[in-house]
């Protein structure tokens, strides 16, 4: 028997450039089924559920939904709430009150865990209910998945930012340090390498949170590249830490400010600025610059990967199909089936929830300061097509004055 009732879709955690594709995929697919009486959206993720902030997506036009699909960031808005058991019970009770029979939550591993707990309450209460987690995260750190929607577009931004920064650094040489998001997983920082074309294109060094960061080794590495190329472009993850696990920004800050809770106050541009000053002082390089890519990298409208966009749409659609055709619960996961092709499966929620994954050792070089070809082969299909850049190769004119 078909389960008749309402669908609720929500978005949680940090936005991505393609998270609305998943929303629109789930909504449009759900609207096709006669047993779906309404499609609701929760405003501000789980926070909107417990506060009963719902909108009726059955009354959105298809055109506006398609416009939403190509709009970055979470159209239903998001939340940083991480529900505990009690919070999840409140979610379940509100869903029950509105006779929600299908719940689709787009988010990372925390969101998967919320879906898991809410679903457990439904099972305990014998309330007929289907709950699906739809994956998204620019960090690409979800278990089971080959990769996650949102990563490809953020990776495209980072790759292109380094193409531009490298060309800039070529024309006015010095040391350039770009700080990329990713506190524990280095996939996004590693993407700095993806648009390289010529052998001397930067970034020349890539530092990931998966490896211990040593300031001494960093200086030696930068000096070696600078000696060779007369310039050096570096990608560092915001999450790099020393042997003791202390964030590098903290070890470099002369007077470490702590807030009321004893947390380090490491503001946005701090790590990049501190590393740049450190290189300037220690190596005596005149032109040292840094940028912190910050929020630009996860919602820049012009850096959307077509592959990422399509897949984000498909995981949303598959969520509706798994729940409504198959009466199943779980997390939609992406599996690579060729070079390049993927398929979608439904994975038990507890296999995706809570834990995260990092860059596997075969993606990082032995010195821990760059990525391997294995990483590039893995990640290149995910960013879609990139514009091609070129360098001049005209011959030098023999000197007649300053011989």
Closer residue to a copy of itself in complex, CB, 275/332: 275
Closer residue to a copy of itself in complex, CB, 290/347: 290
Determine how β-strand 288-292 pairs with β-strand 175-180: parallel
Does 138 carry a binding-site annotation? yes
Which one of residues 30, 119, 163, 372 is an interface residue with a copy of itself (CB under 8 A)? 163
Give me the 297-336 binding string for a copy of itself, x by CB under 8 A, dash otherwise: -xxxxxx---------------------------------
Closer residue to a copy of itself in complex, CB, 124/393: 393
Does 402 carry a binding-site annotation? no
User: Measuring CA to CA, which residue among 129, 128, 152 is closest to residue 139?
Assistant: 152
Compute CA distances 13 → 138, 230, 314, whole Å: 11, 42, 20
8 Å CB contact between 138 and 151: yes
Q: Does 144 bind a copy of itself (CB under 8 A)?
A: no
8 Å CB contact between 334 and 315: yes
Kindly state the smallest distance separating residue 119's Cβ from a copy of itself, in Å: 20
Which one of residues 272, 316, 330, 384 is an interface residue with a copy of itself (CB under 8 A)? 272
| Half-sphere exposure at residue 72, Cβ-oriented, CA atoms within 13 angstroms | 22
Kindly state the smallest distance separating residue 39's Cβ from a copy of itself, in Å: 9
Q: Does 296 bind a copy of itself (CB under 8 A)?
A: yes
Task: Provide the angle, in degrees to the nearest 10, between the axes of the packed helices 306-326 and 19-30.
Answer: 30
d(CA 202, CA 192): 8
Does 137 carry a binding-site annotation? yes
Which positions are annotated as active-site residues?
A: 139
User: Measuring CA to CA, which residue among 91, 107, 104 is closest to residue 30?
Assistant: 104
Q: Does 391 bind a copy of itself (CB under 8 A)?
A: yes
- 120-139 residues in contact with a copy of itself (CB under 8 A) are none
Does 109 carry a binding-site annotation? yes
Q: Does 86 bind a copy of itself (CB under 8 A)?
A: no
- 10-39 residues in contact with a copy of itself (CB under 8 A) are 11, 14-15, 17
User: Residue 241 phi/psi, 5° resolution?
Assistant: -140, 160
């Amino acid at each position: 028997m078909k389960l008749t009732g309402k669908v609720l879709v929500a978005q949680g955690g940090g936005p991505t450039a393609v998270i609305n594709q998943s929303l629109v995929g789930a909504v449009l697919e759900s609207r096709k089924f006669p047993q779906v009486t309404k499609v609701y959206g929760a405003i501000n993720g789980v926070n909107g559920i417990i506060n009963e902030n719902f909108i009726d997506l059955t009354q959105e036009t298809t055109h506006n939904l398609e416009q939403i699909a190509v709009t970055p960031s979470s159209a239903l808005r998001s939340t940083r709430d991480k529900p505990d058991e009690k919070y999840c019970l409140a979610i379940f009770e509100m869903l029950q009150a509105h006779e929600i029979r299908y719940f689709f939550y787009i988010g990372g591993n925390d969101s998967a865990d919320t879906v898991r707990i809410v679903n457990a309450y439904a099972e305990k209460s014998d309330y007929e209910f289907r709950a699906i987690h739809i994956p998204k995260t620019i960090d690409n750190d979800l278990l089971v998945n080959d990769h996650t929607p949102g990563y490809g577009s953020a990776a495209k931004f980072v790759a292109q930012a380094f193409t531009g920064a490298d060309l800039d650094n070529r024309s006015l040489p010095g040391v350039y340090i770009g700080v990329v998001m990713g506190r524990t997983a280095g996939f996004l920082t590693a993407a700095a390498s993806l648009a390289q074309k010529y052998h001397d294109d930067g970034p020349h060094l890539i530092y990931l949170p998966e490896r211990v960061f040593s300031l001494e080794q960093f200086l030696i590495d930068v000096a070696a590249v600078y000696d060779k190329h007369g310039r050096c472009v570096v990608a560092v993850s915001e999450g790099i830490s020393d042997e003791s696990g202390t964030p590098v920004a903290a070890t470099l800050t002369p007077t470490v400010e702590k807030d009321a809770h004893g947390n380090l106050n490491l503001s946005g541009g701090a790590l990049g600025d501190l590393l740049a000053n450190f290189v300037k002082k220690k190596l005596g390089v005149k032109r040292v610059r840094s940028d912190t890519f910050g929020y630009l990298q996860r919602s820049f409208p012009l850096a959307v990967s077509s592959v990422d966009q399509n897949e984000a749409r498909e995981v949303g659609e598959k969520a509706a199909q798994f729940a409504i055709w198959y009466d199943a619960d779980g997390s939609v996961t992406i599996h690579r089936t060729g070079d390049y092709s993927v398929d979608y499966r439904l994975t038990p929620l507890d296999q995706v929830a809570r834990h995260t994954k990092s860059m596997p050792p075969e993606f990082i070089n032995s010195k821990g300061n760059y990525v391997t070809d294995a990483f590039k082969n893995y990640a290149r299909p995910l960013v879609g097509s990139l514009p091609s850049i070129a360098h001049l190769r005209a011959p030098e004119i023999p000197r007649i004055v300053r011989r």
